Every structure is written in structure tokens, then in C-alpha cells.
Amino acid sequence: MSAVPVIEVRGLRKTYGERVVLDDVSLTVGVGDVVCLIGSSGSGKSTLLRCLDLLEQIDDGVIELDGREISDPLVDPREVRRSIGMVFQAYNLFPHLSVLDNCTLAPRKVHGRSRSEAEATARDLLVRFGLGEHVDQHPDRLSGGQQQRAALVRALCTSPRLLLLDEITAALDPELVGEVLDIVRELAYGGTTMVLATHEMAFAREVATRVCFLDGGRIVESGPPDQVLFDPEHQRTREFLRRVLPQ
Amino acid sequence: MSALWEPSPRERERRQVRARLTRRRVAQGSIATLVVVGGIAAAVLLSPGWPRVRATFFDSFHARESLPAIVDGFWINVKMFLIAEPIILVLGLAIAVARSSRSPLLVPLRGLAIVYTDVVRGIPTLLLVFLFAFGMPELGLAGLPDGAFFWATVALVVSYSAYVAEVFRSGIESVHPSQWLSAEALALSRGQALRHVVVPQAVRRVVPPLLNDFVSLQKDTALVASVSIFDALFTARDYANYNFNYTPYVVVACFFVAMTVPLARLCDALAARIARRERAGAR
Ligand SMILES: Nc1ncnc2c1ncn2[C@@H]1O[C@H](COP(=O)(O)OP(=O)(O)OP(=O)(O)O)[C@@H](O)[C@H]1O
Ligand SMILES: [Mg+2]
């Protein structure tokens, strides 16, 4: 365990109008941790990830990245996001750019890499993710799973310190889930710290160092996957798992 | 649960910082505005020719003298705009929909719509006004009024409906194909998909360019001065020619600005409201 966690969240609160979407959420993510957020639809997983990327203004609490408070209004969010990669539930690829250009946009414009350098990195990753033949196509031509992998590559191209993945396997067939799982595991061994929201319990069990169960905007239970998934302490967790885990 | 919540000291501090940042941005904006506006004002007021310009363009006596006639004339511009605009919107949308229809029965209509937009947009609006206001009454069409006001309005409607149709059409084409797909998957007909799915999205998207055309139309109502209709511009020219003073032109300009600015703000507010409602959390 390293001394300073990559992400530390304390007492996070987020509301949309009257609606409390995240309530007193606390979370610590150490270097190399893979934290899986599970919970039913609408429990606030995506919102939590967006808050971590400073895409939402929070209503209370503190978020620290490498020991520095990033929820401070004086912090430039763009500088924070340079070191964080995010993949959205709905891919959000830029439809007017080819897959390769989607992947080289940020490295070139934000990180100042040369076109050839950025393209070499992107091509490399795209081939590794099985997208070698789609490099020059536009995202609309790709299948859902291919788009999701392209979105993952786009996030990886800037070598982020922290990856936030929002249900990236939701659109993939079982074979591809395994493939992405391999890549995510590989990334984890390579030292990439990750927070991911998922409905895939097997996936969570496989890659997570810690699982957090969200319910109604609160983290009800959190711990090692085997404990949370197979020996949960809370009634709510048990009910949820009974619904989602095959008997 | 949420009733008990009190912002933490850190959050309170953060709100103060945010408020301070907002105040600073407002102050920066105000100072920048003052400097720019003040600079321009100083450059104009200190220029050597300013006293003469003020006497011929900004004379308060002539402004007051010409005002009542200009108000009467301006009412004609307003009336023309209010009559023409709704007709243009309906006609423009109809042409755009006709152009994007795929029904074989509507093929002749489609061809007509294409020819209409191409030809009409190619003719200067002023020329259309001449053609309609001088030419149409000569035809002596039964049942139609032959006043210059009527035909000048028709000319504006013809001209602007072609532009507005193209705006609507680009809006319709900018709606993502997946929207057509999901509408078709719900077994909606093409017409229903247009009516309930595509056109509503397209209309929202084209509000700013439509506004642009509205403002342009408001100003182009002044073109009818060239066919001797006593609108605001004609009245002002009349006055200016008799009194050798151009102040009435400035007065007319103020009237037009006063009419367009509130409309622009209203449309901005509407667009912002739609965006807030539909785009929130769309990530
Ligand atoms: N922009 C918004 N405005 C208002 N309410 C919102 C907004 N975005 C999200 N919500 C609400 O916040 C709650 C949490 O949403 P969130 O997307 O985080 O859920 P989730 O856990 O990711 O669900 P899923 O598993 O379906 O992706 C939901 O009840 C949703 O209705
Ligand atoms: Mg979600």
C-alpha cells in the first residue's frame, strides 16, 4: 500500500434540484487499485464517476487526487482531467472524426504530442484491441462493442494515471467481455488505477481489488470482492445480489 | 434525511470562493466593456468633424419633428412583418418537408420545391418587390387586392420562405439517422416519424438561424419604401429631402433596433430553456 491514495473521496454529496443522487459517499482508491462500483440502475454509479472527473459540480464533500484537493473551485478542472481517462456508458465517440482521429485528438491538442507519435501510439493500442482494420473508419460504421473498445483506446492514449470506466462491458457479447477483461487485467498489472461501474458480477469478482455496493446514492457496503459478493453483511446487498447473481 | 443536511464548513468556504470567482469575472467583464465603449465614444466625440455630423444626423429638433410621421410609417413595417412571418414559417416548413419526402406521389411537389428555392433565392429581394408590386396589379387577377402593400408583402413572403425552407431542411438533415431508425422500428410511417420525431428536433436546432432570418426580414420590410409605400424609411426620406437633415434616418434605425433586440433576447432565452431541459445529464 502506498501512503498517498490516488483518489480520496470524503462525504461527497450531489443533488439535482431537490433530488439527492449521492449522499455522504466516501471512497479511497490506492495506487493500482481496481474498484468496482455495483448497484441497481439509478443508484448513482455514473454520477459518482462524473463527479470524480469534475464533470459535475458537487454539493458537499472533498475529492482529492494524489493528496491534493481537486474539488476546490480554484483548481483548473482541465489540468485534473489531463491525468484521468474516462469511458462513458454511451461511448460518446466524435462522429465526425475517424477512429484514429478520435484517439489522437487529445494527445495532440492537449498533451502536445506530434501527429506521428500520437498516431503510432493509437495504432498500436487499436491493433491490440482488435480494431486494426477499423482505424480509418468513422465510429458510426462500427458495432457497439467495437465502438466501446475504440472509446477505451481513446481514453488510454493519454496514458492516464486513473481510468474511470462506466459499464464498458454492457454492450459486449460474452466472448468480447472476456477479451476486454484481459485487457483491463493487463492494465491493472501495468499499474493503472481504475474505478469502474459495472453490472457484470463475474467481471467485478475477477478484476476488482475492492467492490463497493451503492444503493440510493450511498455506499452501503465495500470490501474485497469475495466478501461483498459472497458473504455480504447488509440486507440490501443480499437482496441485490440475489436478483443479479445466477443461483 | 436530506432535511437534516447542513453544508459542511468546507462546502461553505467553497461557495464563498465560487461567489468570489463569479464576482471577479463580472468585474473583469464590466471593466473590459467600459474601456472598449469609452474608447470608441471618445474617438468619435473628439473627432474634428463631430459637431457637423451631430448637426446633420443627431439633431433633437428634427428628431422630434419627424417622430409622429415615422411612428405611423413604422406601424406599416410592423404590420407587414407580423403578417408575413407566420406565413413564411408555415410555407418554409411545408417546402422543406416536401423536399425531404420520399413518397412517389409527392415527386412533382419535390421537384417544384427544388425549383422554387433555387430560383427565388437567386433573385434579389428588392427585384422581387418591384416585380410583384408593379407587375401583379397589372394582371388584374380577379378577387385579389391590387394594393402595393399586399403585393409587397407577398414578395417578402415568397423571398423569405425560400430561405427559411433551406434552414428547416438543413435542420431536418442534421437529425441523426439513428432517430429515423428507431422511429421506423416503432413502426411509425415516414410522415409520422417526420411529424413526431424528426421535425421537433430539427426545429429546436434551427431556432438561431431562423431568428437570423426574422431579423433580416424585419429590416427588409424597409425595401417597400422603394415602391412608394409610406413606411418608416419612406417617411424619413420624405422629411430629410424637405428639411436637408438626416436625423430621421437615425430615428428609423433606432426603431428597427428596438424591434429586433427584444426578439433576439427572447429567442436566446427559449433556446437556453430547451437546452437545459433536454441536454442535462446527456453524457
Ligand atoms: N442531469 C440529471 N438531472 C436530474 N437527475 C439526474 C441527472 N443525471 C442523473 N440523474 C438521476 O440520478 C440518479 C443516478 O443516476 P446514474 O446515472 O448515476 O445511475 P447509475 O447508477 O449509473 O444507473 P445505470 O446503472 O442505469 O447506469 C438517477 O436516479 C437519475 O435519475
Ligand atoms: Mg450509469
Phi, psi of A35 (to 5 degrees): -100, 125
Distances (CA, A) of A53 to A48, A80, A145, A240: 9, 8, 24, 27
B102 touches chain A (CB under 8 A): no
Edge-first strand listing for the sheet containing A210-215: A84-87, A162-166, A193-197, A34-38, A210-215, A218-223
Question: Among partner residues A16, A55, A74, which is closest to B17 by beta-carbon distance?
Answer: A74
Mutate to test the pocket of ligand 1, among A18, A21, A168, A200 (most ligand atoms within 8 A of CB): A21
B186 touches chain A (CB under 8 A): no
Residues flanking ligand 1, CB < 6 Å = A 16, 19, 21, 39, 41-47, 89, 197; B 280-281
Give chain B positions within 8 Å (CB) of A140. Answer: 177
What digits encode the pLDDT tens for the residues B230-282?
888 889 999 998 888 899 999 999 999 998 888 888 878 877 887 777 765 44
Tell me the mean pLDDT in the region A27-32: 92
Q: Which atom of ligand 1 is nearest to the CA of A217?
A: 14
Residue B134 lies in a domain: yes
What domains can you pick out in chain A, each with its CATH number? 7-244 (3.40.50.300)
Q: Which atom of ligand 1 is nearest to the CA of A45?
A: 21
Contact A11 B8 (CB under 8 A): yes
Residue B32 lies in a domain: no
Residue B33 lies in a domain: no
| Cα–Cα distance measured from residue A197 to residue B127, given in angstroms and rounded to the nearest whole number | 64
Q: Residue B283: what pLDDT?
A: 41
Per-chain mean pLDDT for chain A: 89
Q: Residue B262: what pLDDT?
A: 85
Give chain B positions within 8 Å (CB) of A143. Answer: none
Residue B165 lies in a domain: yes
Domain extent at residue B247? 64-282
Residue B156 lies in a domain: yes
Q: Does pLDDT of B2 surpass 70?
A: no
ipTM of the complex as predicted: 0.75
* Residue A42 alpha carbon to ligand 2 centre in Å: 7
Residue B275 lies in a domain: yes
**A58-62, A221-225, B140-144, B262-266: least confident range:** B140-144
Residue B74 lies in a domain: yes
| Cα–Cα distance measured from residue A223 to residue A211, given in angstroms and rounded to the nearest whole number | 6
The CATH number for B138's domain is 1.10.3720.10
Cell of A14: 450531489
Residue B268 lies in a domain: yes
Count up the domains in chain B and report the number: 1
> What's the pTM value of the predicted model, to 2 decimals?
0.77
